[in-house]
């Protein structure tokens, strides 16, 4: 089982890395980091804060765009090229295919995040004229960004399992926007009563919560992140991603591929 899973994972990784869109986006992020010192010049007193905000926001946004753009084609492209039939005719189960695809894309995004983080730290080193102890705390924000990728990839894969790439992209991006407002949904639920309260609360827990995974502003002001938040966010990202993958498997297992 593990060898089949890893075969799908590494093939997905290889395929994603060959994708030219991926390289363009990384190049764009690196360029963005290069122009950040210039951005600091036209503002006053916050070159470092701007660098952290621009760098981490770009890392997060472009990672999410990559997750959506690559994720939407994970299943549909295999069907379109008829390669899915070749894979499934071998002793590879459908759930192994979905899980392998997920792991492959997460691996790609993690490698990308590491590359972007390297560029980001390099820019910090150049503009900050040396290494500061506060720079290490930024790793928490980068880790949370990777957790965002975990969830976003699982969501994209879920939509990719039953609809066309265009609709997958629309649904996934919409869910990202709704997920960024999930805390507002909970606040709204607190103001309602009865069935409405129950429904809104259920929706608030059903949609992904991206706001708690965004600590970029906190990192920019060197505010330490609570250890418990790191632990619970990790658990949340793992459970939510697993739930979305499980839903993808349920749909894909029942999908008629003829």
Partner 1 sequence: MKRLRPIVWQFLLLAICLAGATLALRSVDRVRGRQATLQDVLYIRSGKTLKRASLGYSGLLADIYWTRAVQYFGSGHVRHETRFDLLYPLLDITTDLDPHLIVAYEFGSIFLSQAKPAGAGQPEQAAALVEKGIRENPKYWRLYFTLGYIHYFDRKDYKAAAMAFQKGSEVPGAQPWMRSMAASMAVHAGEPELAAAIWRHIYESTEDEGIRQNAVQHLQALQIDQEIAELQRRVDLYRQKTGQAPYGWQSLIQAGLLRGVPRDPTNKPYILDTQGKVRTKDPVPFVTQARDRKE
In three-state secondary structure terms, 48 is helix
Tell me if 62 contacts partner 1 by CB under 8 A.
no
Q: Do the Cβ atoms of 233 and 223 come closer than 8 Å?
A: no
Tell me if 140 contacts partner 1 by CB under 8 A.
no
Tell me if 139 contacts partner 1 by CB under 8 A.
no
Q: Is 130 left (phi over 0), alpha (psi -120 to 50) or beta?
A: left
Tell me if 201 contacts partner 1 by CB under 8 A.
no
18-47 positions binding partner 1, by CB under 8 A: 39, 42-46
| Shortest distance, position 239 Cβ to partner 1, whole Å | 21
Interface pick for partner 1 out of 29, 33, 54, 207 (rule CB under 8 A): 54
Tell me if 229 contacts partner 1 by CB under 8 A.
no
- Our CB check for partner 1 shows the closer of 17 and 178 to be 178
CA 165-75-69 angle, 5° bins: 45
Sign of CA dihedral 110, 111, 114, 116: negative
Q: What's the start-to-end Cα distance of the chain, in Å?
A: 25
Residues found near partner 1 in the complex (CB under 8 A):
39, 42-46, 49-50, 53-54, 57, 60-61, 176-177, 180-181, 184, 210-211, 214, 216-217, 220-221, 223
């Amino acid at each position: 089982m593990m060898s089949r899973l890893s075969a799908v994972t590494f093939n997905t990784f290889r395929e994603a890395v060959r994708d030219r869109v991926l390289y363009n986006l990384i190049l764009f992020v690196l360029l963005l980091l290069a122009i950040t010192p210039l951005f600091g010049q036209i503002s006053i007193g916050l070159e470092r804060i701007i660098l952290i905000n621009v760098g981490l926001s770009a890392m997060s946004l472009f990672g999410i765009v990559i997750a959506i753009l690559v994720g939407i084609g994970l299943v549909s492209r295999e069907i379109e090229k008829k390669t899915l039939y070749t894979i499934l005719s071998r002793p590879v189960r459908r759930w192994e295919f979905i899980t392998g695809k997920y792991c492959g894309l997460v691996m790609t995004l993690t490698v990308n995040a590491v590359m972007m983080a390297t560029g980001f730290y390099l820019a910090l080193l150049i503009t900050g004229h040396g290494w500061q102890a506060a720079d290490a705390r930024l790793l928490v924000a980068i880790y949370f960004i990777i957790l965002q990728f975990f969830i976003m990839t699982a969501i994209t894969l879920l939509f990719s399992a039953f609809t066309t790439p265009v609709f997958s992209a629309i649904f996934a991006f919409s869910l990202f926007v709704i997920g960024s407002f999930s805390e507002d949904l909970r606040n709204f639920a607190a103001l309602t009563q009865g069935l409405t309260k129950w429904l809104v609360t259920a929706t608030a827990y059903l949609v992904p919560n991206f706001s708690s995974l965004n600590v970029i502003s906190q990192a920019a002001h060197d505010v330490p992140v609570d250890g418990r938040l790191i632990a619970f966010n990790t658990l949340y990202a793992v459970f939510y991603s697993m739930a979305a993958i499980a839903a993808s498997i349920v749909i894909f297992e029942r999908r008629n591929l003829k």
